Amino acid sequence: MSTKRAVKVRFAPSPTGDLHVGNIRTALFDWAYARHTGGTFLFRIEDTDTTRVTDEYIQAAIETLKWLGLQWDEGPEVGGANGPYLQSQRLDIYAEWAQKFLTQGDAYHCYCSPDELEAVREGQRKANVAPGYNGHCRDLTAEQIAAFKAQGREAVVRMRMPDGSTTFTDEIRGDVTFDHKFVPDFVLVRADGSPLYTLAVAIDDILMGVTHVLRGEDLLSSTPRQIRVYQAMGVKLDDYPVFAHLPFVMGQDNAKLSKRNGEVSIAWYREQGYLPEAICNYLALLGWSPGDDRENISMKELTELFTVEKVHSSPARFDMKKLEAINGDKIRALSLEEFTTWTLPFLIKANVIAGSAEEIELVKQALPLIQERIVKLDEAPALLRFLFVKEFAVDPDAVAKISDDAAKDILRRSKKELEALAAWNHESIEGALRTSLIEELGLKPRIAFTALRIATTGSTISPPLFESMELLGKEACLTRISAALAL
């Protein structure tokens, strides 16, 4: 990818809700490319659609990027020489340029009503021709303009597209050409004076010195319009941003992403217990590859390896199972301190613990027992609740498994062996129970220890049994076994 200029990329969402997979994949590639080249990562908020973009969504977008570790060099909260970085605070800039385009003759006022435009589109559909503005107001006379104004009509500002075509080199797709008969004159400014995306994004990219635009393939068709704005601004060809349109992300069914197959907000993944590095690791693989079939990479490795040349043009497929596998790998790679820090909020939110020093110490002892067993942090509360619950009760679905005579015999024998133990640790617990239940009674471990697991932890699923019993303590274990015998 061309790097003759110092690289500056931008992530410019229009946050009309929480940021989703597609948004963040774009932000990640922008960030990685900036870090790889020693360039600048600019964060800009496109909030001119005031009916849909709220302060809450803007703040959520800022918080999401921070949580993911995608720190920006220029933008909201950071500042920079090209602010403000919210488009709603740049309206005077867009108005000034729109007026300049009108003065130059690159743009014109269009007085066509919505009903008239719809009638044109309907006629085009019936004639099976490409839909688009028919140029009705391109060359109005002064008398026609006066007549429209006398009718009280309000005008939009349209950009005048010349005949011919636009060709540009996309760094992922190669040379791309758009015939202008499919790119009709387009609106720059609404009748209420608010700018449209095509005007604001093009002006901001030039004024903010953006050199490389990495964005989704769905915006490919808007590129000739933005290039037309550059031309009207008088920008030299060598100073145009370089475009690279990233491939679509599809669901497992080859359909566009939806909530059913992965397209939910990053906030949802965060609540489910996915680590930010796991999300970034997985999203990096959607359309890009380090080239050696590796799937587990760190953020540092991503910045070292990422190049646009390795981005594919074909659609990427979102695979939730692969994301879960990567998340599990990242969890297992955490140090105990890191694992504790990430897990505590989930335990507190689930009311497993209140957060006392004594509880946290027990959590630290228990976490190594589940670190190899979970793929998401939100699985921790269910596995550790038995250690902290004040009113212990066996899961109703498991009661039947400890209610028959065979299970009662196992529990009575276990209680007798455990009462006799002088030392309470997992080695002594396991040794006594294996000798009694497996060697002397000839029971299979699965049968022998399932009843004991249910009686002490309340469930058929728990961390390793003997280590769990050690952490639970002798008194609590014997009390729970006695309660199970009374069921």
In this structure, are 220 and 324 located in the same domain?
no
305: helix, coil or strand? helix
- The CATH number covering residue 450 comes to 1.10.10.350
CB 286 within 8 A of CB 318: yes
In this structure, are 23 and 95 located in the same domain?
no
In this structure, are 68 and 151 located in the same domain?
no
Domain boundary among 364, 389, 414: 389
In this structure, are 459 and 321 located in the same domain?
no
Q: Which pLDDT belongs to residue 407?
A: 92
- Is 81 part of any domain? no
CB 209 within 8 A of CB 183: no
Q: Which pLDDT belongs to residue 254?
A: 73
Q: Which pLDDT belongs to residue 62?
A: 97
Domain boundary among 194, 228, 246: 246
Distances (CA, A) of 413 to 308, 360, 418, 484: 66, 34, 9, 13
Q: Which pLDDT belongs to residue 453?
A: 96
- Is 46 part of any domain? yes
In this structure, are 352 and 480 located in the same domain?
no
H-assigned helices in 273-356: 276-284, 299-305, 320-332, 336-349
Q: What is the pTM of this model?
A: 0.92
Query: Distance from CA of residue 241 to its chain's centroid?
Result: 26
- Is 85 part of any domain? no
In this structure, are 120 and 58 located in the same domain?
no
Q: Which two tokens stand for residue 463?
A: 């961390």
Residue numbers in the chain where pLDDT is lower than 50 = 2-3
Structural domain that includes position 47 = 1-76+247-333
Helix (H) or strand (E) holding 109: strand 107-110
Sign of CA dihedral 349, 354, 357, 361: negative
Which residues have a Cβ under 8 Å from the Cβ of 44 and sit 6 or more positions away? 10, 11, 12, 75, 85, 86, 87, 204, 208
Q: Which pLDDT belongs to residue 261?
A: 58
Q: Which two tokens stand for residue 199?
A: 């005007």
- Is 315 part of any domain? yes
In this structure, are 142 and 226 located in the same domain?
yes
- The CATH number covering residue 187 comes to 3.40.50.620
In this structure, are 55 and 134 located in the same domain?
no
**Total domains in the fold of the chain:** 4
- Is 24 part of any domain? yes
- Is 459 part of any domain? yes
In this structure, are 94 and 239 located in the same domain?
yes
> Cα(110)–Cα(154) distance, rounded to whole angstroms?
8
Domain boundary among 287, 316, 333: 333
In this structure, are 368 and 427 located in the same domain?
no
- Is 290 part of any domain? yes
- Is 134 part of any domain? yes
Distances (CA, A) of 353 to 8, 80, 340, 357, 378: 46, 43, 13, 10, 14
Residues labelled catalytic: 259
- The CATH number covering residue 342 comes to 1.10.8
In this structure, are 149 and 224 located in the same domain?
yes
In this structure, are 206 and 186 located in the same domain?
yes
